[in-house]
Structure formats: structure tokens, C-alpha cells
Amino acid sequence: MGHIVINNLNKEFVERRQIQRNKSGAAHFDQTIPVLDDINLEFQPGEMVCVLGPSGCGKSTLMRIIAGFDRPSSGQVLQDGKELTSPSPDNIFVYQHNGLLPWMTVWQNIELGVRHTEDLTQKEETIQEYIDMVELEGFENHYPHQLSGGMQRRAELARALVVNPEMLIMDEPFSGLDFLTHMKMREEVVNMHLFLGKTILMVTHNIDDALIMGDRVVILGDRPARVKLDRKLDFPHPRDPKTAPELQELREEIFFMLGVSYAV
């Protein structure tokens, strides 16, 4: 499960603008904004795919289409041979911006993911396990607005991971986390992926995250985005791009591709 094929995918947004012409009234014109341009990709079941690209190029749009929240203008996304046209309960999406339900506490938000577990003791243990994992013990009864940005991100990650989904789609899941929590959550996601082997798609701006975590790295170019690089990363974990020469080379190539000539 989790075999994804993207065929000739295009997406354009149509913006309806109103212009004041003369006394006889307003006229409309439609402005088309092409965002994704002929995207063809294939992800193997259990692959961890990291997607990089300049801001505004269409990464979130691509993820929303793969998750079934948005439809392409043309082309298709197949999951295990079936066209994806709407969101599936087997796939979990971690939003770039706040995805917690504001009227629910941390506990209740995470509980949503395991609401079908009948054994109450097991359910409570699982929720507590994930709350501990993201170090939110003591904040179980807090509402999202009572948490810092980083704590909200951690609660969101726990909410997604507790579901143990077929496919996990994460849109910049580590943004807003402090450095140490970022490192810890990164390690947690890598371990979880090695252990469970589920397909994970992750958008990131952090090249090292992609090189350390990914089985595959995909780079999108400026809007309208095309695939600039689609590379399998066959390196054992744990990885350190600063010491493995091949990863170091790829790191510099990606920096260059993203318009930075001096890799930091």
C-alpha cells in the first residue's frame, strides 16, 4: 500500500478579477495562474519522499492534490492503481499551518486519531504514549491557543502519528520548532518510518532534513513548477551529509539548484 503514480499533472488557478470600465458597469476578466506544469513522479510503497522547492512554487498545492483535497486541472494521481479524487481516511495530512481543532484540548485532538479503538485502557495508553513522545505531558487539557507555536506543532505531529496511517503527508512539519525539538522530531519520524515502513511525503525547506530523512528527494523549480530533480537516496541511516562525500556533493548540487552558490 502507498504506491503513488503522478501522471502528466497540471494545475492552474483561475482568478476572477473585476475591473471598473465606464458608466455602463464593470467588466470581468479571468487571470490564469499556472502552478504545476506536467509533473510526472512515482513513489514506491514505504518510501520516504522529501520535496524541496522555492517558496510559492506549488509544493503545498501538489501535496493537497495528492491528499485529495484539491483536483488537478489535468492529469491524475493514482494510489495503488486507483485514481485519487477525494481525501482518504487512510492518509493523514499534517498542514503547513495550524491543523489542530481549536475547540478541543490537546488530549481530545490526539484522541480523534484513535477514536475507533474500543479498548479504553489501550486507547488512553496510546494517547499518553504519543503525548509523552512529543513532550507535552502536563498540557493534556490545554487548548491550542494556550500553547506556543512549537507546542502546537508537536501536538499536531502526535495527532498525525497516533493514527498510524497508510500514507502520511507532511507540509513543513518542523517549521516553528526550536532547534533541539526539530532534531528530536526528525529522529522520531526517521525511526517511525524505519519501523513502520509507511509511505511518507514531506515538504521541507531544510536541505539537510531531506538528505538525512529521504529515500528519495524531489526538487521542484520556480512556478509553474516542473520536476528539476528526482533522485533516490540509497544511503544507510543514520546519515550525516557533512561527512558522507556523495551526500555532500548532492547537498551542494541542491543548494546550487535552489539558487545558492555557497552551501552553508
Q: How many CB atoms lie within 10 A of CB 182?
A: 18
10-49 binders of ligand ATP (CB under 6 A): 13, 15, 33, 35
User: What is the Cα–Cα distance from 247 to 253, expressed in whole angstroms?
Assistant: 10
173 binds, among Mg ion, ligand ATP, none (CB under 5 to 8 A by kind): none
Q: What is the longest distance spanned by two Cα atoms in the chain?
A: 71
Does 59 engage in binding with ligand ATP (CB under 6 A)? yes
Q: In the block, which residue shows the cell 476578466?
A: 29
Across the beta sheet with 25-43, the strand order is: 25-43, 4-22, 74-79, 82-83
Residue, CB closest to Mg ion: 60
Does 55 engage in binding with ligand ATP (CB under 6 A)? yes
For 198, the grid coordinates are: 509507511
155 touches 147 (CB < 8 A): yes
68-127 binders of ligand ATP (CB under 6 A): 96
Does 60 engage in binding with ligand ATP (CB under 6 A)? yes
Nearer to Mg ion, 46 or 176 (CB): 176
Residues that bind Mg ion (CB under 5 A): 60, 96
For 68, the grid coordinates are: 485529495
Give the x/- contact pattern for ligand ATP in 194-233, rule: CB under 6 A: -----------------------------x----------
Nearer to ligand ATP, 48 or 203 (CB): 203
By DSSP bridging, strand 74-79 and strand 82-83 are: antiparallel
Which residues form the interface with ligand ATP (CB under 6 A)? 13, 15, 33, 35, 53, 55-61, 96, 223
